[in-house]
Structure 1
Amino acid sequence: MSSQRIMDIELLRAVAVMGVLFHHVQGMPFPGGWPRLEATTAFFQLGWGVDLFFAISGFVIGRTLIAQLRRCENRQQSWTCTRDFWIRRAFRLLPSAWLWLLLTLSAVVFFNHSGAFGSLQANLQATLAGFLQFANFRFADAIFNYEYGASFVYWTLSLEEQFYLLLPLLVMAARKRLVWILLVLVAVQFFTWRSFLLSAIRTDALALGVLLSIWSAQSSYWGFEPRFFRRSGLGILLILLLGGVMAWLWTDRFTWSFYRIGVVALLSAVLVWVASYDRDYLLPRSPLKTALTWVGSRSYGIYLIHVPVFFLLRELWFRFAPLGSPDVASDPWLALACALTLIGLLSELNYRMVEMPMRDRGTQLVERLRAARPVLPVSGAPSC
């Protein structure tokens, strides 16, 4: 399996991050409120975007890392591959995450007259949880109990970082039993009622993505290729259909249903499966797809940035509302336009000035470490 990016996977990243953004707009209205939008939460919520992200991560990481680890001929090669993977992941994810944690905390201190960003104490604790990668545990403990802070989206990042830390170790320890272990992990979670804690450490979508990556290296994978999606419009119809089902399941009426997260994980994996063939089944090449894949390529920055931007706008509206009154209702469409413009600009700057340069530095560090202590090359393995 090639390590080259798959356009339909980038498309799904765009779908996921736009869903999360819309979900937070529903639950965190702009100044003046948005009653019509808030009313849709009873029938339609897109919080399932995080599970789609998980399924994508499992597949993308598994398709390169597992292949290389399985080709390692000795323990030294395995640990070298694992070390290189951890370094690349750290340089890819942590600089942007830490930057926006610090910027959010700075806004709490210096630009929070309205209280939009929350209290200093809660945000200090949230920043520490984000830095030390236990934000998901704090998030589970905070729900309905106490204020989390403005960086609450970091719970998913902490869960993924824990996954990136443990996956290579699981692959090396499990060996040929890996598939069965992952299947049991998915099955147990599917039939388990998810408390707040279990929801914050859910791994079924991640595991399904990894299983899909393992299957993609088998000949049977190509025998199940869904070629009928070559017909124009079927891919978009699939996204709308499965997305609609997941949006319905994500409403409050299913909050306590034990099967909700498991079904969402399975449906997310179906979308990743169709995308994984790299045949443009979900959406043919077009200007629209080019625009959406741009969103997908910047999705990490968008995910980090959108909530601070929402709070920033609430603070700005508080300070500069018409007639000098923070209680005067503002035009939600104007607020949304400002938010999307600012999110797009900042995510592009973050991508060019932080994400890509730090990713390159991680690659360079790996190359220096390998040159300083060379090991026998792993024949035919893609880079992890």
Structure 2
Amino acid sequence: MSDPALDAAGSSLPLSSTLAPAKAAAAPPARGVLHNEAHDEARAERAGKEHAIDAWRGFAALLVAYFHCRQVVWVGMQAFHQSVGHSLSPNALAAYLTFPIAWGSAGVPIFFVISGYCIHRGGALRLAGNPAYRLDTGNFWLRRFARIYPVLLAALVLTFALDSLSLQFPPVSHKIREIGLHAFLVNLFSLQSVAGKTYGSNGALWTLSLEVQFYAIYPLLFALRRRIGMTAVLAIVAAINVVSAYVLERHDIQFFTSYWFSWTLGAWIADARARATDARAPGWLYGLAAAFVAAGCAAFHFGQYGAFQLWALGFAVYLYKVLEPRDPARREAAGMPALPRTSLQTLLHGVFRPLSRALSFFGDFSFSLYLIHLPIFVLLSSWLFRSSLQMSIWPSFGYMLVAVPAAYLFYRLVELPAMRWSASFKPKTAPKTSLTPR
């Protein structure tokens, strides 16, 4: 859902971090080899943080996909437990181990926060260097259109094809809604819940409509950021979010204003980190993040919407902490000692780095996976089981083994060309002098 390829300012994320605030550029140069080593380490750390963003994107996509997969093919935890009780069979153990997936929709607010961060990051860095910087609204919308709509159109066509096949296997799955022209156009123009329902079996498209609406309103958010600052913008958006939840969400009308706070949290983090100093965020933020996530899991029992807000807060707090600046080059230039890793940090780094790299791979095609997984699951269930829910958990794993490669193929054939097309509209790099306030 969120897009790592292009931020609002037209730069790719791994490269945009090289654009430092003007005051950082004015720092006295370090000496000799020590400076070069520190600079290389700083670049590696920045790349690692962007790698972490990709990993979380991959995690969120897999989480949401398997959350939907269990819903399509499996009877659910309550019915399963009533049937098998405390059995220790391989099927029972595997099924019980999937219990945390009951909160799998937490991947959606993770996507929203990451999206806000990625979209605003380039503009935030430029504003830090030049407060007079203005967003090229037309170019931003053009690149967003080129990035999103070819992929969305292909996903809708694929949904139509797969659902048409699923309809040949009665009884028809209750997951399949209208696949006519009206529903197609409603989803193509991102008007789900406003002018119609999601297309066919692809219920996940409701969040994509919110993303498109976030992009449409972003230039206004950026203009407000220039005038009143990002913290004030976040406060205004929070108030709008509360009102929208009361007026729209409780009537089951999903509009971007009811989820805007989650997205703007990511933008606020990008803005804060673009202006950050070497001061470290307190370690207790990790505990606060965990508390918000746990509260979201508890709130999920009463409704998904409240849980979404708490999960977004939890992930945003975590992201703010994990993206804190620990630039060795800047610290060495300022005569400050490097921040050494503790033995525990070294151990955790060695354990989680391979996992992070694996998840980052899935993050590359997370958008494609999110767009097409549900029609694939519904077709498999219609074909293999005539849409009946299964007591065995094993088919859900098999479904994922089909959907993930299919999504990767879709990414290579459809999404990558769209990314290249979008990148072709990237504005030419401005001269360095243009970033100096006049």
For normalisation by structure 1, the TM-score amounts to 0.75
Aligned to 1:101: 156
Aligned to 1:175: 226
Aligned to 1:22: 66
CA 1:346–1:163: 2 relative to 1, 3 Å: same
Quote the offset at 1:301 in angstroms: 1.1
- The question of whether the paired residues in 1 share the 8 Å contact of 2:61 and 2:107 is answered with yes
For 1:61-105, what per-residue CA distance to the aligned partner results, in whole angstroms no more than 9, with x for missing partners?
11113444787898xx846x2223223222222222211111111
CA 1:152–1:98: 2 relative to 1, 3 Å: same
Correspondences of 1:352-363 after superposition (within 5 Å) = 352-363=412-423
CA 1:238–1:288: 2 relative to 1, 3 Å: farther
- 1:10 is aligned to 2:54: yes
- 1:344 is aligned to 2:404: yes
The structure whose Rg is larger is 2
Q: Percent identity?
A: 24
- Tell me how far apart the structure 2 counterparts of residues 111 and 217 of structure 1 sit (CA, whole Å): 49
- 1:163 is aligned to 2:220: no
- The question of whether the paired residues in 2 share the 8 Å contact of 1:109 and 1:120 is answered with no
- 1:270 is aligned to 2:285: no
Correspondences of 1:224-235 after superposition (within 5 Å) = 224-225=280-281
- The question of whether the paired residues in 1 share the 8 Å contact of 2:290 and 2:314 is answered with no
- Tell me how far apart the structure 1 counterparts of residues 200 and 123 of structure 2 sit (CA, whole Å): 34
Quote the offset at 1:254 in angstroms: 3.9
CA 1:228–1:70: 2 relative to 1, 3 Å: closer
- 1:300 is aligned to 2:347: no
2:253 is aligned with what amino acid?
L
For 1:328-359, what per-residue CA distance to the aligned partner results, in whole angstroms no more than 9, with x for missing partners?
957430x2232112122112112222222221
- The question of whether the paired residues in 1 share the 8 Å contact of 2:178 and 2:199 is answered with no
- The question of whether the paired residues in 1 share the 8 Å contact of 2:57 and 2:366 is answered with yes
Deviates more, 1:340-349 or 1:270-279: 270-279
- 1:153 is aligned to 2:204: yes
Q: 1:116 aligns with which of 173, 183, 188?
A: 173
Deviates more, 1:191-200 or 1:179-188: 191-200
- Tell me how far apart the structure 1 counterparts of residues 308 and 177 of structure 2 sit (CA, whole Å): 33
CA 1:69–1:336: 2 relative to 1, 3 Å: same
1:133 is aligned with what amino acid?
S
- Tell me how far apart the structure 1 counterparts of residues 217 and 182 of structure 2 sit (CA, whole Å): 25
Quote the offset at 1:287 in angstroms: 2.2
- The question of whether the paired residues in 2 share the 8 Å contact of 1:69 and 1:172 is answered with no
- The question of whether the paired residues in 1 share the 8 Å contact of 2:117 and 2:266 is answered with yes
- The question of whether the paired residues in 1 share the 8 Å contact of 2:194 and 2:254 is answered with no
- Tell me how far apart the structure 2 counterparts of residues 328 and 19 of structure 1 sit (CA, whole Å): 20
- Tell me how far apart the structure 2 counterparts of residues 270 and 355 of structure 1 sit (CA, whole Å): 31
2:109 is aligned with what amino acid?
D
CA 1:43–1:56: 2 relative to 1, 3 Å: closer
- 1:49 is aligned to 2:107: yes
CA 1:38–1:228: 2 relative to 1, 3 Å: closer
1:116 is aligned with what amino acid?
S
Deviates more, 1:152-161 or 1:353-362: 353-362
Q: 1:60 aligns with which of 87, 107, 118?
A: 118
Deviates more, 1:301-310 or 1:347-356: 347-356
Correspondences of 1:119-158 after superposition (within 5 Å) = 121-122=178-179, 124-138=181-195, 149-158=200-209
Deviates more, 1:35-44 or 1:63-72: 35-44
- Tell me how far apart the structure 2 counterparts of residues 345 and 168 of structure 1 sit (CA, whole Å): 36
1:189 is aligned with what amino acid?
N
- 1:86 is aligned to 2:141: yes
- Tell me how far apart the structure 1 counterparts of residues 353 and 99 of structure 2 sit (CA, whole Å): 32
Correspondences of 1:258-337 after superposition (within 5 Å) = 259-277=306-324, 286-318=353-385, 331-333=392-394, 335-337=395-397
- Tell me how far apart the structure 1 counterparts of residues 289 and 363 of structure 2 sit (CA, whole Å): 15
For 1:117-143, what per-residue CA distance to the aligned partner results, in whole angstroms no more than 9, with x for missing partners?
76674554432222111124357xx5x
- The question of whether the paired residues in 2 share the 8 Å contact of 1:119 and 1:149 is answered with yes
Deviates more, 1:111-120 or 1:168-177: 111-120
CA 1:169–1:184: 2 relative to 1, 3 Å: closer
For 1:269-305, what per-residue CA distance to the aligned partner results, in whole angstroms no more than 9, with x for missing partners?
1132234348798965632221111112221111112
Deviates more, 1:93-102 or 1:356-365: 356-365
2:107 is aligned with what amino acid?
G
- Tell me how far apart the structure 2 counterparts of residues 214 and 293 of structure 1 sit (CA, whole Å): 24
Gaps of 5+ in 2: 1-15, 19-46, 81-94, 327-340
Aligned to 1:322: none
- The question of whether the paired residues in 1 share the 8 Å contact of 2:54 and 2:363 is answered with yes
CA 1:29–1:263: 2 relative to 1, 3 Å: same
- Tell me how far apart the structure 2 counterparts of residues 262 and 327 of structure 1 sit (CA, whole Å): 33
Q: 1:212 aligns with which of 243, 263, 269?
A: 269
Deviates more, 1:18-27 or 1:115-124: 115-124
Determine helix, strand or coil for the equivalent of 1:116: coil
For 1:312-332, what per-residue CA distance to the aligned partner results, in whole angstroms no more than 9, with x for missing partners?
11122047xxxxxx8695743
What is the total number of aligned residue pairs between the two structures?
348
- Tell me how far apart the structure 2 counterparts of residues 69 and 336 of structure 1 sit (CA, whole Å): 47
- 1:246 is aligned to 2:296: yes
Aligned to 1:203: 260
Determine helix, strand or coil for the equivalent of 2:138: helix
